[in-house]
Amino acid sequence: MKKIIFSQYSSKVNLHPSVNQFKRDQFAKYKDLLIAKQKQYAKMCDADYECFELDEGNYDDIQFSKLLRFEELSKHYDEIVYLDLDVVPITKVSMFDKFDMNWVCAYSIKSPLDINVIYWNNKANTWHAMDMYSKTCVKNAMLCLDGISGSDYCINTGVLGMNKAVIDKLEFSNKLQKCKELFYQAKDDNLYPPEMSKSWQLNNEVIFTYIIESDNIPFLNINMPWNFILDHITSDYSAAAHLIHVVNKKFNNYNLFHSL
């Protein structure tokens, strides 16, 4: 059984709602430590490791490329795990052993309209395209055009695991262009307020979750401990966490590299 954990990095990524100058600077500063930590975890999992250096600046293309990379790697590996470069493993448990890779393994986040979303949107005086509630809405608008009732969940693609069989079922590269076209159709034809829908942006998590739900792809929710997100809402992690996803990029606030 050949296994690999991979990540990717671009020093050329353009500014984006998810990537401000502070976050770019933090990646440049901590890149080597982040790679070393992920490589250490891969070795513990008896898996190969690769961090792909990208010559690409478009944020959305970078995010889609990690999903397309699964198909390329499945030609050489049986089981594959992807970690965003800001995901820091602090566990002694192998993700390959913990979860059944015959399923797409990821953290699917329930995203009802709650006080956090209302606070965030009011603070910005607009709907934020990267908010998980907003992503869930556009995903469900796409499903509605197919006559499918969507869930209140959207997948965070910062941590993903699957094997060759389920990668073949996904057929992501074959479906991507059609999904992009459906996104733009849904942006114009939906039941949501225009104040919200005009803010929607093409996003890999929207497309990926849409494919999972529309095609009934086998999916296993790994839940928060395996993709523990630190952001503008959650500033510290639980002792139950295995993989720390430092979305806020404040790596210096956490003692995550002490074992290197």
pLDDT at 217 over 60: yes
Q: How confident is the model at residue 113 (pLDDT cuts 50, 70, 90)?
A: low
pLDDT of res. 2: 98
Query: Backbone phi, then psi, for 2, in 5-degree steps?
Result: -95, 130
pLDDT of res. 4: 98
Q: How confident is the model at residue 233 (pLDDT cuts 50, 70, 90)?
A: confident
- Which domains does the chain possess? 3-253 (3.90.550.10)
Fill in the amino acid letter for 140: N
- Write out the two tokens for 130: 């990267």
Q: How confident is the model at residue 259 (pLDDT cuts 50, 70, 90)?
A: confident
pLDDT at 99 over 70: yes
Q: How confident is the model at residue 122 (pLDDT cuts 50, 70, 90)?
A: low
- Average pLDDT (186-213) is 93
Lowest mean per-residue pLDDT among 16-30, 56-70, 90-104, 148-162: 16-30
User: Mean pLDDT score of the chain, rounded to an integer?
Assistant: 92
Q: What is the DSSP string of 35-82?
A: HHHHHHHHHHTT-EEEEEE-----HHHHHHHHHHHHHHHTTT-SEEEE
pLDDT of res. 83: 98
The sign of the CA dihedral 201, 181, 113, 159 is negative
Q: How confident is the model at residue 260 (pLDDT cuts 50, 70, 90)?
A: confident
pLDDT of res. 121: 54
pLDDT at 157 over 60: yes
Strand partners, 7: 51
Lowest mean per-residue pLDDT among 24-38, 101-115, 132-146, 177-191: 101-115
- Average pLDDT (211-238) is 95
pLDDT at 120 over 60: no
Grouping H, G, I as helix, E, B as strand and the rest as coil, residue 135 is helix
For the question of whether the overall pTM of this predicted structure is more than 0.85, the answer is yes
CA-CA-CA-CA dihedral for 255, 245, 33, 7, to nearest 10: 160
pLDDT of res. 131: 81
Q: How confident is the model at residue 119 (pLDDT cuts 50, 70, 90)?
A: very low
Query: Backbone phi, then psi, for 232, in 5-degree steps?
Result: -75, -10
pLDDT of res. 115: 44
Are 96 and 79 within 8 A, CB to CB?
A: yes
**Percent above pLDDT 90 for the chain:** 77
DSSP assigned state of 16: B
Strand partners, 156: 107
Fill in the amino acid letter for 216: N
Beta strand 243-246 with 48-53 is unpaired
pLDDT of res. 19: 82
